[in-house]
Amino acid sequence: MIHNFNAGPSILPKEVFQQASEAVIEYNNSGLSILEMGHRTPEFTAIMEEARFLVKELMNLDDHHKVLFLHGGASTQFMQVPMNLLDPKDSVAYADTGVWSSKAIKEAKLFGKVDVVCSSKEKNYSFIPNDFAVPNDAKYFHLTTNNTIYGTQWQSIPKTSNVLVADMSSDIFSRQLNFNDFGLIYAGAQKNMGPAGVNMVVVNENILGKVKHPIPTIMDYRNHIAEESMLNTPPVFAVYVCMLTLRWLKNLGGIKAIEKINEYKATLLYNEIDSNELFTTHVNKSDRSKMNVCFAVNNPAHEKQFLDYASTNGIVGIKGHRLSGAFRASLYNALPISSVEFLVEIMRSFKQSIA
């Protein structure tokens, strides 16, 4: 049996794979594969509508928040957000808590003044800053809610009167938040929502249309809202798998139910790291991510040994990112508790094997 801890593209529910694989051969007795179905057919229009409706239902969004499924992943949003919300004379505030937030900062600087109001870079992004202020005149405040590479997470969202923009790529749908507090949320699908190839955007329509400069047609959120994510050909299969995954989450009990499961999985693994003298983590305890658990061995000589031992036992995807090294276990929504329990057993048996 394989236990998949990959950081993304990541594990998805088995029942979603089954349904998606059947649709690749033939979708809903239509005589067509989902891969060859026109995006403006009644069949796919219904899929897109259900996917958008499920997002609104699961996140309890008000009528002002519109749901879009777009191309380009979260990286495109690094430029699309300031393009839609920022004029050159304006300033915005960003929190620098990891690689992806620093990439977002770089893109935003092409469109206006960026004020980096807090950063944990000097300590290798091992914590979430908590002593900072957002200028009142900032058009928006941007943060990355979960930092996949370094294993930190905003456990509470800062209160601000500014428009709040969040990259939730690696913890979307994993915990309860008041999503209506955000002016704009974006998330690549390939962690908790579906396969790589589609990006979800939730945007409050009231923050749009304020900039004076022209926006290319395909980059203007208002055009995508007007066309209900059908401005151009959407990534049909990726949207379909997202819809199936959102159905799965709803049937499980929604975000409230999955949050309890995610809390349990994270506690289980962190408790083992803290109690097993072979392992350690450099992440500030109060800022530990419940999605991406980054840890290391106290003796570097044991690192390759543990990776080989884990691989031999069917554990895949725990090698850390090239920038942070060591290990990373991603505990996304679809990862079963049994896989975390098995990883803990392997950590204990590895300790015994080298004693």
Task: Write out pLDDT tens, residues 259-306.
Answer: 999 999 999 999 999 999 999 999 999 999 999 999 999 999 999 999
351 is catalytic: no
pLDDT at 354: 85
100 is catalytic: yes
Residue with tokens 């980059």: 219
Q: Are 121 and 190 in contact (CB under 8 A)?
A: no
pLDDT at 197: 95
pLDDT at 325: 85
Q: 17-32 burial string, b = 16+ CB within 10 Å, else e?
A: eebbeebeeebeeeeb
Which residue of the set 100, 139, 265, 287 is catalytic?
100
Distance CA 48, CA 43 (A): 9
Closest CA to 292 of 272, 312, 321: 321
Which residue of the set 66, 139, 154, 167 is catalytic?
167
154 is catalytic: no
Closest CA to 151 of 11, 346, 326: 326
pLDDT at 10: 96
Digit-coded pLDDT (tens) for 133-180: 999 999 999 999 999 999 999 999 999 999 999 999 999 999 999 999
Show the domains of the chain with their CATH numbers: 3-9+254-354 (3.90.1150.10), 14-252 (3.40.640.10)
Digit-coded pLDDT (tens) for 116-129: 999 999 999 999 99
Q: Is 73 helix (H, G, I), strand (E, B) or coil?
A: helix
Distance CA 57, CA 248 (A): 13
Digit-coded pLDDT (tens) for 37-86: 999 999 999 999 999 999 999 999 999 999 999 999 999 999 999 999 99
In what helix (H) or strand (E) does residue 25 lie, and over which residues does it extend? helix 14-25
Closest CA to 243 of 15, 54, 28, 39: 54
Which residue of the set 191, 220, 265, 287 is catalytic?
191
Q: HEC profile for 197-233?
A: CCEEEEEEHHHCCCCCCCCCHHHCHHHHHHCCCCCCC
Average model confidence (pLDDT) for the chain?
97
pLDDT at 231: 97
Mean pLDDT along residues 20-38 = 97
